[in-house]
Chains A and B, each alone.
Chain A
Amino acid sequence: GAVVSQHPSRVICKSGTSVKIECRSLDFQATTMFWYRQFPKQSLMLMATSNEGSKATYEQGVEKDKFLINHASLTLSTLTVTSAHPEDSSFYICSAQIAGLNEQFFGPGTRLTVL
């Protein structure tokens, strides 16, 4: 149980284009989902927290207009990287939390490469 999937697993795009990453909780309902970014040999950095049906809360330094987060249902959250640039190339990982359970279940990650 508690499986989280991400799609796509890797994406390569041209600079200036937008990329959407999906995060799904497959066998449970997630009231809260989190988006992290991880650069090579570094730890995960929280970008934003999203609750179903409300606006995401972004961490300091994360541009909300560049990283659009939508949590339209209890099993799906999306992260859209708008007008991507090479410096946005990173490993993006989502996690999902069951209401009342203090544990996050992580997805397998999405490798984004912006040329």
Chain B
Amino acid sequence: KNQVEQSPQSLIILEGKNCTLQCNYTVSPFSNLRWYKQDTGRGPVSLTIMTFSENTKSNGRYTATLDADTKQSSLHITASQLSDSASYICVVTYTGTASKLTFGTGTRLQVTL
């Protein structure tokens, strides 16, 4: 069982609409949680990073939330654009293994006209 699970696996929304992606993790204790955007055929690009003491972090139209008690995070995308079509990956780092990242399964988002 993957220690970082994301839902939904894929999502199609209309341009201009909002959406929320979910991430549940069992990694413990954890150091930080990151959300990445990965365009097809490209490397991941960091959107947000949160430590266990942070509840929310925004980056433009992207807002990430974290509930360390329930081990859940979400990524909310506001006013979606066609360029938001990509895979969104939730990544958790263990405390003590500072450099080792545990990758989620990813959510494939497609924004259509």
Contact = CB atoms under 8 A, between A and B. Distances in A.
Interface of A: 4, 6, 32, 34, 41, 43-46, 49, 91, 93, 95, 97, 102-109, 111
A108 B43 contact: yes
Interface of B: 31-32, 36, 41-46, 49, 89, 93, 98-101, 103-106, 108
Given A102-B32, A102-B93, A46 B101 contact: yes
B42 A109 contact: yes
Contacts, number: 43
A46 B12 CA distance: 29
The secondary-structure label for the interface of chain A is strand
Contacts of B89: 43-44
Contact of A109 (B43, B49, B104): B43
A91 B46 contact: no
B41 A111 contact: yes
8 contacts: A32-B99, A41-B108, A43-B105, A102-B32, A103-B46, A105-B46, A106-B43, A109-B43
